[in-house]
Amino acid sequence: MSPAPAPHDRWVFHQGEFVRAKDVGLGPGTQGLHYGTGVFEGIRSYTAAEGGESLVFKAREHYERLHASCRLLRLDLPYSTGELVDVTRELIVRNQLDRDAYIRPVVYKLALEPGTPFGVRLSGVSTAVTILALPMGDYSKPEGIRCGVSSWRRVPDASLPARAKITGAYANNALAVDEATAAGYDDAIMLNQRGAVAEASTANVFVVRSGHVATPGPDSDILLGLTRAAVMRILADEADITVGERTIPRSELYTADEVFLTGTGCQIVPVVEIDGRRIGDGTPGPITTRVREVYRQAVRGADPRYRHWNTPVGLKSQVTAA
């Protein structure tokens, strides 16, 4: 493994150029900072099981979701999905990320255009695009986590679109995480305004009962996670497991045989306790364990059924001059 550059020396794609992180300057008037008017993605890349290359997981899908998020906030993203995938490849190579890594694209309102008056708005404001890439291994707890149901409700889609990853919306998630960790839990599960299960702080929720798997649907004020979609595909391919999207009442969390979370960062993590109640026998259940194993193989290109999810990056590739 080559030594990773220090954080301030990492290569970053900023406003159309590859620059060192320390050379990115943002003015105090950055509009996205003031009003939370930005959108982002979280993408993982994994070293391939066979070695020699990195595999970006669902790269195109992440950038397609970024484009959709941008449309909602009238952010002008001047790169196609293919170009963004190419930038990601180059960042991985430039930063010599020959280990598992995380890519964070963020598109945000930058500055008021001439003639635009001061104030909260989406039109008349320029857009900035920044993409970071950093080393990130598996931080989830294989033995499972303890969650608390948050007193903070998930912001409803009718107030702030849940299907977009809007930077400002994450203050809601931060409040929930803060409450949960202050109470000694690992993560929060948030209900929507109707009192049904929405999602965890940065992950989707699945419940298992008598061999049936269910997850809240798109009308439950959730982000439509790409890991969630991958897990639904994996479950559908496992012959004896049915999976459905539906409203999940809070009480089902406590009576489930298994609960697990899915997200790019946490990947697939068993939940073994919620609000002090043991889930199942308090250890990761068989369906969670099975899905987790298939997913772990898939992200490293070791499952031929899911190779189309992997975008390969040859780490020895040449990059254009700095």
- 150 near ligand PLP, judged by CB under 6 A: no
- How many Å is the Cα radius of gyration of the chain? 20
Question: Closer CB to ligand PLP, residue 207 or residue 223?
Answer: 223
**Count of residues that interact with ligand PLP, criterion CB under 6 A:** 14
Q: How far is the CB of 81 from ligand PLP (least distance, A)?
A: 15
Strands annotated E in the chain: 11-14, 17-20, 38-40, 43-47, 53-57, 101-112, 125-135, 145-149, 187-191, 197-200, 204-209, 212-215, 242-245, 258-263, 267-274, 277-278, 310-314
- 223 near ligand PLP, judged by CB under 6 A: yes
- 202 near ligand PLP, judged by CB under 6 A: yes
Q: How far is the CB of 226 from ligand PLP (least distance, A)?
A: 4
How far is 184 from 186, CA to CA, in rounded Å?
A: 7
Contacts with 63 (C-beta within 8 Å, 6 or more apart), sequence order: 41, 81, 84, 85, 105
Closest CA to 309 of 50, 31, 56, 49: 56
Question: Closer CB to ligand PLP, residue 95 or residue 267?
Answer: 267
How far is 271 from 250, CA to CA, in rounded Å?
A: 15
Q: How far is the CB of 196 from ligand PLP (least distance, A)?
A: 15
Question: Closer CB to ligand PLP, residue 225 or residue 285?
Answer: 225
Note if 165 is an active site residue.
yes
- 189 near ligand PLP, judged by CB under 6 A: no
List 58, 109, 141, 165, catalytic entry: 165
DSSP state, residue 281: T
Question: Closer CB to ligand PLP, residue 64 or residue 252?
Answer: 64
Tokens 């099981």 locate to: 49
- 203 near ligand PLP, judged by CB under 6 A: yes
Among 88, 192, 227, 310, binds ligand PLP (CB under 6 A): 227
Among 228, 274, 280, 306, binds ligand PLP (CB under 6 A): 228
- 225 near ligand PLP, judged by CB under 6 A: yes
Contacts with 296 (C-beta within 8 Å, 6 or more apart), sequence order: 267
Contact indicator for 228, 200 with CB cutoff of 8 Å: no
How far is 269 from 246, CA to CA, in rounded Å?
A: 21
Question: Closer CB to ligand PLP, residue 39 or residue 92?
Answer: 39
- 204 near ligand PLP, judged by CB under 6 A: yes
Q: Is 68 exposed, middle or buried (0-12, 13-18, 19+ CB in 10 A)?
A: middle
97-105, 141-149, 224-232, 293-301 -> range binding ligand PLP (CB under 6 A): 224-232
Question: Closer CB to ligand PLP, residue 57 or residue 79?
Answer: 57
Alpha carbon 229 to its chain centroid, in Å, reads 12
Among 47, 54, 264, 310, binds ligand PLP (CB under 6 A): 264
226-237 and 286-299 helices, crossing angle to 10°? 110
Q: How far is the CB of 203 from ligand PLP (least distance, A)?
A: 5
- 263 near ligand PLP, judged by CB under 6 A: yes
Specify the length of the chain in residues. Answer: 322
Closest CA to 135 of 105, 89, 99, 91: 99
Among 21, 24, 26, 42, binds ligand PLP (CB under 6 A): 42
Among 39, 97, 226, 259, binds ligand PLP (CB under 6 A): 226
Footprint of ligand PLP (CB under 6 A): 42, 173, 199, 202-204, 223, 225-228, 262-264
